[in-house]
Structure 1
């Protein structure tokens, strides 16, 4: 058996939108290490796509804005007598259709929708699948390395709420289980979802220069961290926000970046 001990364990995966997504890379890494997978997607088109990516795996359509849909997922898993050893929450949405605005101009409807989908869905789904979670299961959500980055707009505070939610879920579940909850807080990545954020590309290129190796963070590196946290090898890690940013957060005054800026002024 391998160090991660993922063989013959079953994991619920959300958020596989395409082959560039963190969820896709994480699912492939888990599968390559012997795990079985169950997926949720938001539409019939996405279901067809995931079935091609992962032939033979169960794929459920789930609307996280619909409480009944989430409850139904939990019921279906119970009916199938599934035991989940882990759950990857990789769901996020923000309405940037009007472009990036100053935070104080955020519309209440947009904020509430984004909060429901990107944060509260972790609570609702965890509650719905609790009966089928193994006693020592691991739940991992995908967050961001800096919730104060301006380019994320109102998603920054919502991701900060997600980070806090991880700890509260860990506390709540500890009353009668050993289920762990952790967040992987990723630095900027080259994904299709991030490309839709106004101004993201410039921030991505800037972040690449701030990593200590001056090379961009790879999605596979984030997926490796997810796999570790989902595995029994990380049994001592709980209620944590694990930053994966290639050292960017400790390197804001990188000499090369400072020198390049100084030459422009």
Structure 2
């Protein structure tokens, strides 16, 4: 089967810069001929996207870049109404959004305050459900659509200093399963990619990130760190007809580190 997504539109949320996993996903989709739409949270991200998309195929040089505040229900609705007006129905969406107060990405988890706990869950977990619901209510998804999000091993196991983000990722992981059940009724697939440690802007906020990277490179079966392009290509697979029987799944792209017991 020739893997091409020409003529299909995909929304990529969460590109911050060229190191973003979201950008690697966008590149893989672009190489498969897909039409892209980007959402952004602030002007700095928009500037990065506007610069980066000039390196894509000609059909994506003018890809829409739409502001979307995932903390605001009306903001989400407005953003996707804008996207629907410009592109019609979409074949998929990559949710690559997470946030936690850096103060609580070190030390003991039990010290987290209520506000920071709720904020991490709202941005990192609930936003995926809010976006999925908006897509359904606006009838924006094609019958064979696929949506995905990014998670991490820290939602399954204790990872030093991941703390509140680990708890939020556990919430996100559960949401993937329930969303897969709900959206499966209309033929839409929902999955998650659990990537190994990658040098991204958000990863640097975790105080023990460099240590985690070294441990993975030493102990993973393939004895190397995760390349973001590997995540991008896995996303491409999950968006493509090749994965048409897969939903509610978490796929680890970490060179096998997740199988290690100690």
Instruction: Tell me the distance in 2 between the aligned counterparts of 1:188 and 1:80.
Output: 36
> CA contact under 8 A between 1:151 and 1:203: conserved in structure 2?
no
**What RMSD over aligned residues (CA atoms) do the two structures have, in Å?**
1.5
Q: Could you list the runs of 4 or more consecutive aligned residues of structure 1 that deviate by over 4 angstroms after TM superposition?
A: none
- Select 1:60's aligned residue among 66, 69, 76: 66
**What's 1:104 paired with?**
110
> CA contact under 8 A between 1:83 and 1:133: conserved in structure 2?
yes
**What's 2:195 paired with?**
186
Please give the secondary structure, in 2, of the residue aligned with 1:140.
strand
- Select 2:148's aligned residue among 140, 159, 169: 140
Cα offset, 1:98, TM superposition: 5.9
Instruction: Tell me the distance in 1 between the aligned counterparts of 2:87 and 2:232.
Output: 28
**1:207-256 deviation per Cα after TM superposition (whole angstroms, max 9, x unaligned):** 11111122111111111111110111110110111111111122345xxx
Instruction: Tell me the distance in 2 between the aligned counterparts of 1:251 and 1:240.
Output: 20
Pairs within 5 Å for 1:124-139 = 124-130=130-136, 131-139=139-147
**What's 1:244 paired with?**
253
**What's 2:124 paired with?**
118
**Structure 1 unmatched ranges of 5 or more:** 254-265
Instruction: Tell me the distance in 1 between the aligned counterparts of 2:184 and 2:105.
Output: 41
Instruction: Tell me the distance in 1 between the aligned counterparts of 2:9 and 2:87.
Output: 12
**1:96-118 deviation per Cα after TM superposition (whole angstroms, max 9, x unaligned):** 13661311111110010110000
TM, length-normalised to structure 2: 0.91
Q: 1:144 to 1:98 in 2, by over 3 A?
A: closer
TM, length-normalised to structure 1: 0.90
Q: In the comparison of the two structures, how many residue pairs are matched?
A: 251
Instruction: Tell me the distance in 1 between the aligned counterparts of 2:83 and 2:223.
Output: 44
> CA contact under 8 A between 2:154 and 2:169: conserved in structure 1?
no
Instruction: Tell me the distance in 2 between the aligned counterparts of 1:221 and 1:62.
Output: 27
Instruction: Tell me the distance in 2 between the aligned counterparts of 1:5 and 1:164.
Output: 31
**Structure 2 unmatched ranges of 5 or more:** 54-60
